[in-house]
């Protein structure tokens, strides 16, 4: 697209974090639309590109046969000129404990619109603060994406924690040959089950995993019907399957209509592990009580797919997060779709609707 003036994206808008960069990058590559993002991460105490953001930029640049300007650590402005999304095998390493699931957020939309299947080996933190845990992406978000017709698998090869990182996941994606279909997440149905994993790694004993699981299960049993099946697996990771010391718990609740909602917590040194189990359970219970069909962690992530799908998508979810409001702004700016948000009476839930653009993968072309 030589000679095309890039679309300017204000990186300081609303949430003002890396999410704007990730979404803009994905929509740029899928639509072959050049962009310039300024004021990158202006809403953060350390603005500009950090290693995980730069790694995501470089990954999408390579997968889209594109050109990147301003790709340096600390840069507050970048320009991206995409080519076309090419399937294949790719590797990316943040060299830090930067979240691999945020790398997935950058590259998954692009891979769904590639000209052939893709596989990505992504290295960094698998279970990190301020990002979905890898287990959540596998057990909750992957299921939600299947409603749009997206077909991908993700496997945790090695867990990696702060500060070392060095975790690894394998992401395998099949392109959506006919594009994504609209999804309707508005019928909660009845709660069927809550499953989960409570894990420890490094020097932490399995007892810690059992404490988190027991606390979560006790809270769930107290609040939920006896008909709801609850099973939380406790795992002590083998040394070869984890780098560093860490713990956490991820729960997922399944309803009769196919909704899957998550709750999670990361362990922290010096904090009672029971609190982590309770936090994960509280997140499940909050969404079950309001009968949300999409939880707060998937809420902002599905916005991009609603904009790209063919037809009207609808989600019933709790109060909109700032991340979700930001996601709607980026999607509207770059695809011209409109989002309708309707507040439900007598509830803190909202219905979000969008008529997507019906994007489809470009036909295969020769790689340069």
Positions annotated as catalytic residues are 323
Alpha helices in 263-347 (DSSP H): 273-290, 296-299, 301-308, 322-335
Return the residue matching tokens 């697209």: 1
Are the C-beta atoms of residues 236 and 206 closer than 8 Å to each other?
Answer: yes
296 among the known binding-site residues? no
Distance CA 57, CA 54 (A): 5
Distant-in-sequence, close-in-space partners of 258: CB < 8 Å, separation ≥ 6:
143, 147, 189
Q: Is 155 annotated as a binding residue?
A: no
Is 297 annotated in a binding site? The answer is yes
For residues 169 and 123, give the distance between their C-alpha atoms in angstroms, rounded to a whole number. 7
19 is annotated as contributing to ligand binding:
no
Alpha helices in 148-300 (DSSP H): 206-223, 273-290, 296-299
Q: Which residues pair with 10 in a beta bridge?
A: 38
Q: Is 221 one of the annotated binding-site residues? A: no
Determine if residue 301 is labeled as part of a ligand binding site. Answer: yes
Pairing of strands 118-124, 310-317: unpaired
Q: Yes or no: say if 59 and 76 are a contact pair by the CB < 8 Å rule.
A: no
**CB within 8 A of 222, min separation 6: which ones?**
none
10 Å Cβ neighbour count for 243? 23
Binding site for ATP, by residue number, is 105, 297-301
């Amino acid at each position: 697209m030589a000679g095309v003036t890039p679309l300017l994206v204000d990186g300081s808008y609303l949430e003002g974090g890396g999410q704007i960069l990730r979404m803009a990058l994905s929509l740029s590559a899928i639509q072959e639309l050049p962009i310039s993002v300024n004021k990158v991460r202006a809403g953060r105490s350390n603005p500009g590109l950090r290693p995980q953001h730069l790694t995501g930029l470089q990954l999408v640049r390579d997968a889209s046969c594109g050109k990147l300007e301003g790709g340096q650590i600390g840069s507050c402005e970048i320009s991206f000129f995409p080519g076309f999304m090419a399937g294949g095998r790719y590797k990316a390493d943040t060299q830090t404990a930067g979240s691999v699931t945020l790398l997935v957020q950058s590259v998954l939309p692009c891979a769904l619109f590639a000209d052939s299947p893709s596989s990505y080996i992504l290295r960094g933190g698998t279970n990190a603060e301020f990002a979905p845990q890898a287990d959540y992406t596998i057990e909750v978000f992957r299921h939600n994406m299947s409603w749009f017709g997206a077909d991908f698998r993700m496997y945790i090869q090695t867990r990696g924690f702060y500060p070392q990182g060095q975790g690894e996941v394998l992401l395998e994606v099949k392109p959506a040959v006919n594009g994504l279909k609209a999804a309707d997440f508005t019928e909660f149905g009845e709660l069927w089950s809550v499953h989960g994993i409570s894990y420890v790694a490094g020097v932490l004993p399995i007892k810690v995993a059992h404490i988190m699981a027991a606390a979560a299960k006790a809270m769930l049993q107290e609040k939920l019907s006896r008909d709801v099946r609850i099973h939380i697996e406790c795992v002590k990771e083998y040394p070869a399957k984890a780098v560093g010391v860490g713990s956490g718990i991820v729960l997922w609740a399944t309803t009769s209509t196919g909704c899957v909602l998550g709750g999670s917590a990361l362990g922290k040194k010096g904090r009672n592990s029971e609190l982590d189990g309770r936090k994960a359970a509280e997140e499940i219970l909050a969404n079950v009580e309001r009968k949300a069909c999409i939880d707060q962690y998937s809420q902002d992530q599905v916005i991009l797919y609603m904009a790209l799908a063919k037809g009207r998508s609808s989600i019933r979810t709790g109060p909109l997060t700032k991340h979700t409001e930001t996601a709607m702004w980026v999607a509207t700016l770059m695809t011209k779709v409109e989002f309708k948000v309707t507040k439900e009476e007598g509830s803190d839930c909202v219905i979000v609707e969008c008529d997507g653009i019906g994007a489809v993968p470009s036909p295969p072309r020769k790689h340069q």
